[in-house]
C-alpha cells in the first residue's frame, strides 16, 4: 500500500506570538523550497499543531503553502457550558483540518479514557476534521510485556467504528519515550505497528485498514528520523520537541525524500 508520508509537529504548551511567527514562517519557507526542488507535497503532508492561542496567527503563514493546520485537543460538543474547552466548530473556524486526540499527556493529566477519546474522534468526523488518535504504553506496561495488549485495546476502544483513511490517522507514541530521549528499537516499532495494523484490520476490514496512516512518535529527531520512517508500516512521525526548532523539524521532513 502506497500511503503518503505525514510529518506532524506538536508544539504542546509552547510558543508565544513572536516565537510562533518566526517558527511557522521558517517552516513554511523550508517546505516551499523542498516542494520546488523535490515535489515534497506529492510525497509528504506536513502539519503544524500549535496551542489554541496561536492557531489564527499560524494559519496566516500556512495559507497556500501546502502545510496544514491542526489543534492539540478539543471537546466533543459543538458549543455549550464547557468553560475552558474548545469545540470542533471553533477549530474549523480557526482554519484547522486536523486535531490530535488521546495524547498520553491528555490521558494522564486530564484522565481521558478510551471512551472519551472515541467520543472526541466521532465529533471530529462529524465536523470535518481528521483525528490523529494517539496510543502508547507506559514504561511499567512495557516491562510487564503488555505493550501489544495495551495498544490493541486502545485501538479497539478509542477508534470509532466509522473510522477510515479520510478521517483518521493513528500515532503510536510509547509514553516512556516522549521527551526523554529514549526510543524503542526499530524491531520494537515494527512489531507494534504490525499489531496496530492487524487490530485495524480486525476492526474495519483489510481494505479500509490498509489505507490508514500509522505515525511513530516519541523522541523523534533528525538523527533517527530516517531510520524510523523507513520501517514497514511507519507512514510518518508525530514530532514533539524537535518541531520547536525549524531546522530540526525540516531535517525530519527531508528524511522522507
pLDDT digits (tens, 9 = 90+) for 130-171: 999 999 999 999 999 999 999 999 999 999 999 999 999 999
The CA-to-CA distance between both ends of the chain, in Å, stands at 18
Identify the band that residue 179 occupies on the pLDDT scale cut at 50, 70 and 90.
Answer: confident
Q: What is the mean pLDDT of residues 32-42?
A: 94
* Residue 245 pLDDT exceeds 80: yes
137: part of which helix (H) or strand (E)?
none
Hey, how many other C-beta atoms are within 10 angstroms of the C-beta on 211?
Answer: 15
pLDDT of residue 162: 97
Contact call for residues 154 and 192 (beta carbons, < 8 A): no
- Helix, strand, coil percentages for the chain (3-state, nearest 5): 50, 15, 35
Question: How far is residue 13's CA from residue 109's CA, in Å, rounded to a whole number?
Answer: 13
pLDDT tens profile 212-228: 999 999 999 999 999 99
Counting residues of the chain whose pLDDT is more than 90, the rounded percentage is 96
pLDDT band for position 181 (cuts 50, 70, 90): confident
Q: Does domain 5-254 have CATH number 3.20.20.70?
A: yes
What's the pLDDT score for residue 69? 98
DSSP-derived 3-state class of residue 98: strand
Please provide the size of the chain in residues: 257
Question: Global pTM?
Answer: 0.97
Which residues does the annotation mark as catalytic? Answer: 103, 173
Give the pLDDT band (50/70/90) at residue 91: very high
The answer to whether residues 104 and 135 touch, using CB atoms and an 8 Å cutoff, is no
Measured in degrees and rounded to the nearest 5, phi and psi for residue 65 equal -95, -15
Supply the pLDDT for residue 204. Answer: 96
Average per-residue pLDDT in the chain?
Answer: 96
Determine the average pLDDT of the residues in 78-101.
98
Amino acid at each position: 500500500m502506497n500511503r503518503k508520508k505525514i510529518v506532524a509537529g506538536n508544539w504542546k504548551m509552547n510558543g508565544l506570538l513572536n516565537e510562533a511567527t518566526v517558527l511557522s514562517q521558517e517552516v513554511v519557507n523550508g517546505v516551499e523550497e523542498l516542494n520546488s526542488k523535490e515535489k515534497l507535497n506529492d510525497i509528504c503532508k506536513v502539519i503544524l499543531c500549535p496551542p489554541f492561542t496561536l492557531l489564527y496567527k499560524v494559519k496566516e503563514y500556512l495559507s497556500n503553502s501546502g502545510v496544514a493546520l491542526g489543534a492539540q485537543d478539543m471537546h466533543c460538543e459543538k458549543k455549550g457550558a464547557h468553560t475552558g474547552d474548545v469545540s470542533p466548530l471553533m477549530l474549523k473556524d480557526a482554519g484547522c483540518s486536523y486535531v490530535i486526540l488521546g495524547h498520553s499527556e491528555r490521558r494522564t493529566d486530564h484522565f481521558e479514557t478510551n471512551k472519551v477519546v472515541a467520543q472526541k474522534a466521532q465529533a471530529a468526523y462529524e465536523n470535518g476534521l481528521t483525528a490523529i488518535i494517539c496510543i502508547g504504553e507506559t514504561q511499567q506496561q512495557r516491562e510487564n510485556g503488555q505493550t501489544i495488549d495495551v495498544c490493541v485495546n486502545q485501538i479497539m476502544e478509542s477508534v470509532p467504528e466509522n473510522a477510515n483513511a479520510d478521517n483518521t490517522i493513528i500515532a503510536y507514541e510509547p509514553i516512556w519515550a516522549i521527551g526523554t530521549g529514549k526510543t524503542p528499537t526499530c524491531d520494537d516499532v515494527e512489531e507494534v505497528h504490525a499489531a496496530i495494523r492487524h487490530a485495524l484490520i480486525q476492526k474495519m476490514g483489510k481494505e479500509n485498514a490498509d489505507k490508514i496512516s500509522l505515525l511513530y512518535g516519541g523522541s523523534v529527531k533528525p538523527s533517527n528520523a530516517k531510520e524510523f520512517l523507513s520501517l514497514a508500516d511507519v507512514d510518518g512521525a508525530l514530532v514533539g520537541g524537535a518541531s520547536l526548532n525549524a531546522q530540526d523539524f525540516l531535517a525530519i521532513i527531508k528524511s522522507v525524500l
